[in-house]
Structure 1
Amino acid sequence: MSKVVCVTGASGAIGSWVVLLLLQRGYTVHATVQDIKDENETKHLEEMEGAKSHLHFFEMDLLDIDSIAAAIKGCSGVIHLACPNIIGQVEDPEKQILEPAIKGTVNVLKAAKEAGVERVVATSSISSIMPSPNWPADKIKGEECWTDLEYCKQKGLYYPIAKTLAEKAGWDFAKETGFDVVMINPGTALGPLLPPRINSSMAVLVSVLKGGKETYEDFFMGTAHFKDIALAHILALENKKAAGRHLCVESIRHFSDLVDKVAELYPEYDVAKLPKDTQPGLLRASGKDASKKLIDLGLEFTPVEQIIKDAVESLKSRGYV
């Protein structure tokens, strides 16, 4: 594979880490952003080592295939992260989240195929694996498990609906065309923030540190370090044997397990005590069982204690807590 890779959603919390690691590995990066004039999207990327000669910005709209094609031109690989990330209530789910996620994924794959790209690694989510309340109670949830769309519709959970339908649309495209697509399904992404803006997962940690009692029962399955998630995408791009879906969590946990660990590591904060089982029907599992496919590709997951420390120290340095 040639050393030119397009990263969509490059300015986000995970996308920024993908760009950083690609530059460190000697790649030239076509980084897509929503607004090329917005320094919140570009400045932290421009300051990375190697950016001056190996980083090129492209303004991209997921619903404008010409803008996607311009960014992908000349690339041998694409890492597709761009997607609306709205966990809470949505006023216009079709316009705000469903159409950009689903149609955007297909548009990226179409443009990549037409440009002769060898492989696309796309970011899905654990939100396309759960909530899945009808999954057998004695079986660990993994890559073969899919989110229950009817359950999500009843509860108005549009983010899992969008991520599930987007991933399925990606697989449909791959099946129909024979195009090489690989999916990464990360859990809650935490660690040192590279962009100036906070992402939704780190905002959840802020809430925990301030005594929040939300259990995120439909949105939590475990956590992973930003760097590990970024590296998972790169390993999946570089390794021909990578195929299918890849659950990306350091282990399968309940949200209460994470909260308890935060309270243990940071007793000076007013962390709430949550019920022990906050994710109904979710069996806990170690990383080697949960994320075996990525470990087999060479990924060594950062332990949860270090993930929390890196994340909290980053939040403290930015004045969020």
Structure 2
Amino acid sequence: MADGGKVVCVTGASGYIASWIVKLLLQRGYTVRATVRDPLDAKKTEHLLALEGAKERLKLFKADLMDEGSFEQAIQGCEAVFHTASPVTFTVTDYQVELIDPAVKGTLNVLGTCTKVSSVKRVVMTSSMAAVLFPVTPLGPDYLVDESCFSDPNVCSDKKLWYVVSKTLAEDEAWRFAKENGIDLVVINPGLVLGPLLQPSLNFSVSLIADLIKDKNDTVNKNSRLVDVRDVALAHIKAYETPSANGRYIIEGPIVTINDIEKIVHEFFPELNLVDKNEASEIIPVIYKLSVEKAKSLGIEFTPTEATLRDTILSLKEKCLV
């Protein structure tokens, strides 16, 4: 529990992972200063204001990644900053403007503010497995992926993986800036994040499951690794609360096939005749080995994949999103 209601800031607070970070922080007795692009947009803020403890200990602030200095008011007086704000989209017309600039400049904007606020002890940043899985040497079945693996921006650019480029460059710049400015930075690298939604609308990762239920989806036609949003949120908080926490933490689950996902969809929607995707679900060899020992050292116990999928689907049903 936080002693005496420590004050912390969460950027991009209306997002999928960030909403859960806010929820868990409030449960643990923290006072949370949350940034959103428009505090008056009820669609983006209602679910936050409805959280237990929000009335007493949650305050919303307007801030924009591209607006230098706009995070200052929110970060003032905070002991920790959880920086989650970053665009997640795979369809862009101008990748530099829509993805790379907000991710990179936004991160530097937040970190720059942290250097001016003496109360900030640690910054915990949400990165992604995208910043891990595209090294110069392609991954193979014997390749052990751990926190020392970094994606190479040139490899990602050649493949036109602009979202991956944005996450990789943002993390690279964050480490550079933190080192040069003496910021205690810890980074969380989650994989495909699923689990119940707090916000009223679909985010990218959960929409994959919604599309599968609605039979619109070709993107899960392979083996995926997924991780529970509640585990990811808790990892952020533990990364702040554990004095010895440092560097990066991979938060990633076991391999899940399209068949595993369909089995659970059938359990909840027996009336749905999912298109037979057998041709897509031949077992693809696992392309890399994975170590999550470092995350476990924070005290994270990973939620079983089946529970994550079940809770995702229940949440979609409850919110009438499928």
Where does residue 316 of structure 1 map in the other structure? 317
Q: Give the aligned residue type for 1:230.
A: A
Decide whether the 8 Å contact of 2:143 with 2:289 is kept in 1. Answer: no
Where does residue 214 of structure 1 map in the other structure? 219
Where does residue 58 of structure 2 map in the other structure? 55
Matched, 1:119 2:118: no
Displacement of 1:93 after TM fit? Answer: 0.9
Q: Deviations over 1:111-137 (max 9, x none)?
A: 112102100000000111123462354
Distance 1:214 1:22 in 2: 33
Where does residue 27 of structure 1 map in the other structure? 30
Decide whether the 8 Å contact of 1:208 with 1:259 is kept in 2. Answer: no
- Which aligned pairs between 1:122-271 and structure 2 lie closer than 5 A? 122-132=125-135, 134-211=138-215, 212-215=217-220, 222-251=225-254, 253=255, 257-267=256-266, 268=270, 269=272, 270=274
Q: Deviations over 1:82-136 (max 9, x none)?
A: 00111x2210111111011001111111111210210000000011112346235
Name the SS for the 1:266 alignment partner: helix
* Amino-acid identity (%): 41
Displacement of 1:189 after TM fit? Answer: 1.1
More deviation in 18-27 or 262-271? 262-271
Distance 1:293 1:216 in 2: 30
Displacement of 1:151 after TM fit? Answer: 3.0
Displacement of 1:221 after TM fit? Answer: 5.5
Distance 2:180 2:231 in 1: 31
Displacement of 1:276 after TM fit? Answer: 3.5
Name the SS for the 2:82 alignment partner: strand
Q: Give the aligned residue type for 1:63.
A: M
Displacement of 1:44 after TM fit? Answer: 1.0
Displacement of 1:320 after TM fit? Answer: 2.4
Where does residue 109 of structure 1 map in the other structure? 111
Where does residue 295 of structure 1 map in the other structure? 296
Distance 1:216 1:64 in 2: 39
What is the TM-score with the length of structure 1 in the denominator?
Answer: 0.90
Decide whether the 8 Å contact of 2:108 with 2:177 is kept in 1. Answer: yes
Q: Deviations over 1:141-161 (max 9, x none)?
A: 221112232332222211000
Q: Give the aligned residue type for 1:300.
A: E
Distance 1:216 1:154 in 2: 24
Distance 2:11 2:46 in 1: 16
Note the residue ranges of structure 1 that are not aligned, 5 or more in a row.
Answer: none
Distance 1:216 1:128 in 2: 22
More deviation in 206-215 or 221-230? 206-215
Matched, 1:304 2:305: yes
Distance 2:224 2:34 in 1: 29
Distance 1:284 1:314 in 2: 31
Where does residue 77 of structure 1 map in the other structure? 80
RMSD, aligned CA: 1.9
Distance 2:87 2:192 in 1: 15
Give every structure 1 segment of 4 or more consecutive aligned residues whose post-TM-superposition deviation is greater than 6 Å. none
Q: Deviations over 1:187-216 (max 9, x none)?
A: 111111101111100011112223422257
What is the TM-score with the length of structure 2 in the denominator?
Answer: 0.90
Q: Give the aligned residue type for 1:106.
A: L
Q: Give the aligned residue type for 1:93.
A: Y
Displacement of 1:275 after TM fit? Answer: 3.9
Displacement of 1:281 after TM fit? Answer: 6.6
Displacement of 1:277 after TM fit? Answer: 5.0
Note the residue ranges of structure 2 that are not aligned, 5 or more in a row.
Answer: none
Q: Deviations over 1:277-296 (max 9, x none)?
A: 55x772255xxxx3211111
